[in-house]
Structure 1
Amino acid sequence: MALQRIGIIMNGVTGRMGMNQHLIRSIVEIRKQGGVALSNGDRLMPDPVLVGRNRDKIAALARAHGIERYTTDLEGALRNPDDTIFFDAATTQARPGLLKQAIAAGKHVYSEKPVATHLAEAMSIYQAAKAAGVKHGVVQDKLWLPGLRKLQMLNEAGFFGRVLSVRGEFGYWVFEGDLQPIQRPSWNYRSEDGGGIILDMLCHWRYVIDNVFGKVKSVSCLGATHIPQRWDEQGKPYEATADDAAYATFELENGVIVQMNSSWCVRVRRDDLVTFQVDGTHGSAVAGLTDCWTQSRVNTPKPVWNPDVRNTHDFFGDWAEVPNTSHYDNAFKVQWELFLRHVVEDTPYTWNLLEAAKGVQLVELGLQSWRERRWVDVPSLEA
């Protein structure tokens, strides 16, 4: 067994998502386990260089996690032929330029989503990567969440029969900042800074729906800015210009209807921060991030509607939990390992920049639907 090195330029990993999910829980954990197993028995060891604007901040992050290399010189990092992958988790607005810069330098690119704020921009990144012949991927982490993997297994096993509908609920209450400190960055609520829950979440719902339930055919979306004033990290009030809630319905090519509510203005009284209920002719299932419960056709109770009598039936008791029959690793880490194998061994990999563009497309069409107050068809994107 030989140990192969692969150099990764990691940009934007001082932010919450880049640091926690991509650096600490993915790359650092892969290094701790001795690298990624390759088909020939070798191990592939990531050797990251952390890139950021604040030298003290990235130096401290590198020291804390045993990373030897860090720099504030992105152009210099891109010139290093020993680092073959560029990863970005910085701001959405800067991402198109950074990805194109890395592609021009001959780097394979892996990116957080959304890759852009407009479809034309997202497609131009994909076309640039395709023309350069570099490998490319976009983070679509929710596909490897235990709850969704269990839903996929049920679907593949034919548990649902004919799927009729999917109802998704995502969100929680994000503090305004006057009474309690904010737990999401203030830019999320300023459209001029790339904020908005439609831009943030419809990219997710596109790949979840396409991969688990069926291809999206059309969309009807209503956005809202429920909280018009918030307070920033310094405790100063500001006008919230971005949507903080979205109520979307999707018609799929296979006839399934998907409803997704996404909100930073909702208090949670459900099993998880995100739940998906799938109803089919032969059974139903409800999945959260990790757990999944089922109710089959023969176990469906017969409720009686009587508003004059308190209903004492335990509806939750009629559901059976899907057991953990395998180990579920961190979803971000799983996709990192798949992308690294794709770069080195050319293994199949479908979660690329074209898929990223589809997410941005759905964002644009959702915003159009809200603006024009109508259903909007989702045309196919050519590879």
Structure 2
Amino acid sequence: MTRKTVRIAMNGVTGRMGYRQHLVRSILALREQGGLDLGDGTVLWPEPILVGRREHALKALAEKHGLEHWSTDIDEVLDDDSVDIFFDAAMTSGREEVLKKAIAAGKHVYTEKPTAVGLEGAIELARLAREAGVKSGVVQDKLFLPGLLKLKRLIDGGFFGRILSVRGEFGYWVFEGDWQEAQRPSWNYRAEDGGGIVVDMFPHWEYVLHELFGRVTSVNALATTHVPTRWDEDGKPYAATADDSAYGIFEIEGGVVAQINSSWDVRVNRDELVEFQVDGTEGSAVAGLRNCRVQHRSATPKPVWNPDLPATYSFRDQWQEVPDNTEFDNGFKVQWELFLKHVYAGADYHWDLLAGARGVQMAELGLKSSAEGRRLDVPEISL
């Protein structure tokens, strides 16, 4: 076996997602398993370089995990010819600029979403990457969740017959920050800093719908701010200028209709924080982060509406659990492995910056639909 060291600049690893999912559960997990075997006698050894604005936080993380390299100077890191890949999980508002710098420096780029604050900028990033000849990848982690992998297995096996509709529920109560600490950073609720649930979640819904059911052809959305005042990390009140809840209807090529609610102002009465119900002529399924339940046409009960009598049975008990049938690795780690194999072994990979631009487009159209109060078509985009 030949070991090849891959130096990866990781920007934004002091944040919750960048640290937990990308550094610890992906890159460090790859190191713990001995690297990534490419199957040709080569093992990739990821060497992370922690990048961010807070020197003390970077130094603390490096010491905690026994890492040698960290920097608060992005330009210096990008000028380093030994750096192979640039990853970004920092604030959305600065992403477009830093990705342009990374592409211009000849680095392969892997990034969280949204890739830019507007569609024009997102398409420009995809064009620049193609012209520079660098590989690009955009995190689309929910595709690799056990629940959605089981759902895809059902779709590919023809379980549903003709798919009719998709219903999605996502969200949880994010504390305002006054009497209990908020679970999300305050910039998420400031539009001027790139916050908002539409910008955050509609890119997710785009790739989930696109990959599982088909291209989204129209969007009709209502975005609103239910909680107008929140408290920041210093305990100071601030005006929430970004939307914290959104209600969307998406038409998909072939006639499937998807309805997805997204909210940071909802108390959870579901088995998981996100669930998708898919109904088809031959069967239905409800998929969450990990689990998936089904009800086939042949086993569908015959409910009768009678408000005068209490229900004597549990509707949930009438569904069957889809077995795991395999071991599921962390979804973020799985996509990192696929991207690294794409860069260094030429493996197929289509979750690139152009795919990321579709997510930006969905968010942009969702906000426009809400502002104008009308349904909008979703044009196909290309370079």
Please indicate the TM-score interval, normalised by the length of the shorter structure. Answer: over 0.9
What secondary structure does 2:262 align onto? strand
Partner of 2:342: 342
Question: 1:158-173 alignment to 2 at 5 Å?
Answer: 158-173=158-173
Structure 1 outlier segments of 4+, above 4 Å: none
Q: How many angstroms does 1:233 deviate by?
A: 1.4
- Provide Cα deviations, 1:120-163, integer angstroms capped at 9, x if missing partner: 01111111111101000100000000000000000000000000
- Provide Cα deviations, 1:177-231, integer angstroms capped at 9, x if missing partner: 2232211111111111111000000010000000011110100000111111111
The whole-number CA distance in structure 1 between the counterparts of 2:77 and 2:7 is 10
Partner of 2:56: 56
Partner of 1:323: 323
The whole-number CA distance in structure 2 between the counterparts of 1:260 and 1:158 is 23
Question: 1:138-287 alignment to 2 at 5 Å?
Answer: 138-287=138-287
Comparing 216-225 and 33-42, the one that deviates more: 33-42
Give the gaps of 5 or more residues in structure 1. Answer: none
What secondary structure does 1:360 align onto? helix
C-alpha contact (below 8 Å) 2:198/2:366 kept by paired residues: yes
The whole-number CA distance in structure 1 between the counterparts of 2:379 and 2:370 is 18
The whole-number CA distance in structure 2 between the counterparts of 1:57 and 1:365 is 37
Q: How many angstroms does 1:303 deviate by?
A: 0.9
Comparing 190-199 and 51-60, the one that deviates more: 51-60
Q: How many angstroms does 1:93 deviate by?
A: 0.8
Partner of 2:123: 123
Partner of 2:370: 370
Comparing 358-367 and 40-49, the one that deviates more: 40-49
Q: How many angstroms does 1:117 deviate by?
A: 1.0
Residue type matched to 2:100 in 1? K
What secondary structure does 1:230 align onto? strand
The whole-number CA distance in structure 2 between the counterparts of 1:230 and 1:54 is 24
C-alpha contact (below 8 Å) 2:96/2:117 kept by paired residues: no
What secondary structure does 1:83 align onto? coil
The whole-number CA distance in structure 2 between the counterparts of 1:73 and 1:204 is 31
The whole-number CA distance in structure 2 between the counterparts of 1:55 and 1:268 is 37
Q: How many angstroms does 1:103 deviate by?
A: 0.6
The whole-number CA distance in structure 2 between the counterparts of 1:19 and 1:110 is 15
Q: How many angstroms does 1:90 deviate by?
A: 0.5
Residue type matched to 1:2 in 2? T
The whole-number CA distance in structure 2 between the counterparts of 1:54 and 1:185 is 16
Give the gaps of 5 or more residues in structure 2. Answer: none
The whole-number CA distance in structure 2 between the counterparts of 1:272 and 1:371 is 31
The whole-number CA distance in structure 1 between the counterparts of 2:175 and 2:5 is 44
The whole-number CA distance in structure 1 between the counterparts of 2:74 and 2:186 is 26
Q: How many angstroms does 1:279 deviate by?
A: 0.3
Partner of 1:353: 353
The whole-number CA distance in structure 2 between the counterparts of 1:82 and 1:238 is 43
| Number of positions where the alignment pairs a residue of Structure 1 with one of Structure 2 | 383
C-alpha contact (below 8 Å) 2:136/2:353 kept by paired residues: yes
RMSD: 0.8
Q: How many angstroms does 1:237 deviate by?
A: 1.4
Aligned identity (percent) is 59
Partner of 1:99: 99
The whole-number CA distance in structure 1 between the counterparts of 2:175 and 2:111 is 29
Partner of 2:290: 290
Residue type matched to 2:169 in 1? E
The whole-number CA distance in structure 2 between the counterparts of 1:72 and 1:179 is 34
